[in-house]
Amino acid sequence: MKKYTFLLSFISLAIVACEKVIDLDVPYEKPSLVVNGFLNPDSSISVHLSKSQFVLDNGELKPVADASIRLFQGEEELGFMGHQGSGIYRMEEQKPKVGSTYTLRVDAKGFEPVEVEERAMSKITPTIIEIDTIRKQEGGDMWSYEYLEYTIDLKISDPANSQNFYLFKVFEKISGSYQPDPNEEPVFYEHLSPLELESPDPMLESFCNFGCGLVLTDEYFDGKDYRIKLAAHVNINSGGPNREEERQLTLGMYHISEATYLYYKTLEVNRNTEGDPFAEPAKVFSNVVGGFGILGATSATFVDLPL
């Protein structure tokens, strides 16, 4: 046994646990202010304020409720944004004016001040040229699935001499009721969900945050009209027995700023790398100087589509 003891000890030493908790020489990253908000001509200016945390800190991400946020339109100070609770700040009755630049200066105790600037976007209303629906069926003898291939042919007029980004989404709203028992009151429900969009146009790229839409930049048609074809699959099967449903399709077209586009594109990449030890780290874009987050600009037009 003696002659084996040395050998076994030697082998054991070779394969002993290879994990080690280390103190990496990483400077502690102090919490910074995180500003998330949107300039939308249809709504009062509101932002959410929270704080970041160091990678090794535990606990939930918390809002910041005691900050002072000054709002400027150009050089003119409009006043302080009021705290509404849960880190939400709003300037009541102050809707952004299209084309104006707004600046937020945020100060909070214990944080470096941050500043963010963005310009409010104009509405771009698409012209619907044609809508086409083709009833299709997939499956075989055992099961089948019927749907509508819903094609929208539309045109947009691009403002000249500025970089523009257009986001397209189609939503399906299903509202209905069902009666689980004839003796009971009916149960009402309503769902709103984006449909997956496709387009034969290679200029449109996928934009997948909170459901997928398609985004287009005016790089190759600045100042001109541009025609786009979008397609979606619409389920036409009924919700089931004892159900009465109504469906409504809505096309949403959003004129978004470059910062909004960059933020959500990089956010999508950042999300996709979560839990993947092989993925390249992906930083999320921010237009907040000295902090994180996004003051985005978006202007939406909604068109109800016949179904």
Partner 1 sequence: MSEEETVTFEGKSETEKFKLEYLSGIEDFSLKTDFDYLPNPDHYIRLGASVIHHTFTPGAVAFSNIFEGDTTVGAKPTFGIEHAVYVEDDYKLNDQLKVNAGLHFSGFAVESRYYPSLQPRLSARYLLRPDLSVKASYSRMAQFIHLLTNSGIGLPTDLWVPATDRIKPQYSEQIALGLAKTIRNKYELSLEGYYKHMDNLIEYKEGASFLNLESDWEQKVTSGRGWSYGAEVFLQKKTGKTTGWLGYTLSWTERQFDALNNFGEVFPYKYDRRHDLSLVVQHKFSSKFELSGTWVYGTGNAVTLPTGNYMSAPDFTSPGQDIDWYQYNYPVRNYSKRNEYRMPAYHRLDIGMSFNRKTKWGKRSWVIGVYNAYNRQNPFYIDVTRDKNGHKQFTQYSLFQIIPSVSYNFSF
**173, β-bridge pairs:** 192, 248
In the shown chain, the binding pattern of residues 62 to 91 toward partner 1, with x for contact by CB under 8 A and - for none, equals ------------------------xxx---
> Which amino acid, residue 114?
V
CA distance 46 to 58: 29
CA distance 248 to 233: 14
By beta-carbon proximity to partner 1, the closer residue of 136 and 271 is 271
CA distance 36 to 109: 19
Q: Rule CB under 8 A: choose which of 2, 5, 6, 24 binds partner 1.
A: 24
Q: Rule CB under 8 A: choose which of 3, 5, 6, 16 binds partner 1.
A: 16
Which residues, numbered 88-127, are part of the site for partner 1 (CB under 8 A)? 88
Which residues, numbered 200-259, are part of the site for partner 1 (CB under 8 A)? 209-211, 213, 250, 252, 254
Which residues, numbered 129-158, are part of the site for partner 1 (CB under 8 A)? none
Backbone φ/ψ region at 248: left (φ over 0), alpha (ψ -120 to 50), beta: beta
CB of 8 to partner 1, least distance (A): 13
Q: Does 289 interact with partner 1 (rule: CB under 8 A)?
A: no
**Distance of alpha carbon 299 from the chain centroid:** 14
Sign of the torsion formed by the C-alpha atoms of 291, 43, 189 and 214? negative
Q: Rule CB under 8 A: choose which of 8, 54, 82, 224 binds partner 1.
A: 54
Contact range with partner 1 by CB under 8 A, out of 12-20, 114-122, 221-229, 230-238:
12-20
Q: Rule CB under 8 A: choose which of 51, 165, 199, 226 binds partner 1.
A: 51
CB of 182 to partner 1, least distance (A): 33
Q: Rule CB under 8 A: choose which of 4, 56, 185, 306 binds partner 1.
A: 56
By beta-carbon proximity to partner 1, the closer residue of 155 and 271 is 271
Half-sphere exposure of 151 (CA within 13 A, CB side): 12
> Between β-strands 212-217 and 205-208, what pairing exists: parallel, antiparallel or unpaired?
antiparallel
Q: Rule CB under 8 A: choose which of 1, 55, 130, 240 binds partner 1.
A: 55
| Largest distance between two CA atoms of the chain | 90
Backbone φ/ψ region at 161: left (φ over 0), alpha (ψ -120 to 50), beta: left
Would you state the torsion angle of the CA atoms of residues 217, 220, 221, 226, taken in this order, to the nearest 10 degrees?
A: -70
Q: Does 306 interact with partner 1 (rule: CB under 8 A)?
A: no
Residue for token pair 């339109």:
73
Contact range with partner 1 by CB under 8 A, out of 49-57, 97-105, 126-134, 152-160:
49-57
By beta-carbon proximity to partner 1, the closer residue of 13 and 181 is 13
By beta-carbon proximity to partner 1, the closer residue of 78 and 284 is 284
CA distance 303 to 39: 21
**Neighbouring residues of 209: CB distance < 8 A, sequence distance ≥ 6:** 264, 267, 268, 271
Cβ 123 vs Cβ 255: under 8 Å: yes
Q: Rule CB under 8 A: choose which of 2, 3, 4, 25 binds partner 1.
A: 25
CB of 83 to partner 1, least distance (A): 13
Which residues, numbered 169-198, are part of the site for partner 1 (CB under 8 A)? 169, 171, 192, 194
CB of 43 to partner 1, least distance (A): 8
Give the number of other Cβ atoms within 10 Å of residue 176's Cβ: 18
Q: Does 298 interact with partner 1 (rule: CB under 8 A)?
A: yes
Q: Does 61 interact with partner 1 (rule: CB under 8 A)?
A: yes
